[in-house]
Structure 1
Amino acid sequence: MLKQIISIFFLLSFSLISSQNSIDHKYAEFNFWIGEWNVYKHNTDTIVGKSKIEAIIDNKVIKETYHATTSKFKGTSLNKYNPRTNQWEQFWVDNSGLTLHIIGNLNDGKMILENTINLQKNNTLSNKITWQQNEDKTVRQIWSQSKDKGKTWKVIFDGDYKPIVDN
């Protein structure tokens, strides 16, 4: 009987450790975005902002602190994997009054988070933000919006995150 109890204990312990390791792997999926970045308008030399992306709370949350270089615009996001829903979530707030809650997952090397919000008069607005690490370790972020339930999309931000290099 004691051998059976010990065997069950070890099996349960191994199962919990294996389960935690698979969850820990999920928490690391968005780590390619961590760093201090100059943010450029895509495929240009025009810097539009600076962004600091850091892992916080035991590496379970990714915090973004962004500020534009050509205006007083500032914003912050918290990003986390939610094991209950098996999805990533981002909660963004900024000094323009925008609040955005988007959800999604890593697909084919791209983190894709999106939402649809109801506007007045039965209109909707869908947001889709995609982050992809490039071969040179820069990150491209594309934010698109749709007013026709995803039939057509308009890019409202297309940026390249390039590491800040200290001289």
Structure 2
Amino acid sequence: MRNLISLLFMFVLVCNLQSQNAQACSSPQHRQFDFWLGKWEVLNPKGIKVGENVIQYIQDSCVILENWKSAQLTGTSYNYYDPTEKTWNQLYLDNKGTILKLKGNFVMGKMIVESETIKGKNYNYKNKITWQVLEYGTVSQKWDIVDADGKILSVAFDGIYKRM
């Protein structure tokens, strides 16, 4: 009898843990970046292909994995919603040694993340990346270099994603 009760208890515990794991990243906030999922051809503003990007879920849909490929660059990012901080976070790494740590939110239909302030030779700046859905299911991604007041100093990347 004692073994049966122990077995029943273990069964209930395992079922409960599986239920919690299945729901761990299912809030509406966790789904805010779903529009970026897919296989994409990426074009510059002139319509010239500059690369391809594959965006998919990993870790039971708790992390969005990006795999970027262009003629000279490959990059990977890990994107996740942190419910404790109520922020979206991105860690981007590429084959040129670039490391970006970005944080932000989904605001008025746009995913906007930015880095901490970086001390440059001539001025301090932040990396700011914005994604938004456009017509026909395309997505724009703009990576701006901004000053402390948010003024755009330069554009590092400006792309339009078209589904492959």
TM-score where L is the length of structure 2: 0.79
CA distance in 1, matches of 2:150, 2:29: 30
Using the TM superposition, give the Cα deviation of residue 25 of structure 1 relative to its aligned residue in structure 2, in angstroms: 1.2
Identify the residue that residue 3 of structure 2 maps to in structure 1.
none
Aligned length: 142
Letter in 1 for 2:67: T
The 5 Å alignment of 1:8-87 reads: 24-42=27-45, 44-68=46-70, 71-87=71-87
TM-score where L is the length of structure 1: 0.78
Tell whether the 8 Å contact from 1:61 to 1:78 is kept in structure 2 after alignment.
Answer: yes
CA distance in 1, matches of 2:68, 2:104: 21
The 5 Å alignment of 1:87-166 reads: 87-119=87-119, 123-146=123-146, 148-153=147-152, 154-164=154-164
CA RMSD in angstroms, aligned pairs only: 2.1
Letter in 2 for 1:38: E
CA distance in 2, matches of 1:138, 1:30: 14
Using the TM superposition, give the Cα deviation of residue 21 of structure 1 relative to its aligned residue in structure 2, in angstroms: 8.8
Tell whether the 8 Å contact from 1:116 to 1:124 is kept in structure 2 after alignment.
Answer: no
CA distance in 1, matches of 2:27, 2:51: 31
Using the TM superposition, give the Cα deviation of residue 121 of structure 1 relative to its aligned residue in structure 2, in angstroms: 6.7
Structure 1: 5+ residue stretches without partners = 1-16
Using the TM superposition, give the Cα deviation of residue 72 of structure 1 relative to its aligned residue in structure 2, in angstroms: 2.3
Using the TM superposition, give the Cα deviation of residue 105 of structure 1 relative to its aligned residue in structure 2, in angstroms: 0.5
Tell whether the 8 Å contact from 2:124 to 2:148 is kept in structure 1 after alignment.
Answer: yes
Letter in 1 for 2:109: G
Structure 2: 5+ residue stretches without partners = 1-19
Identity %: 38
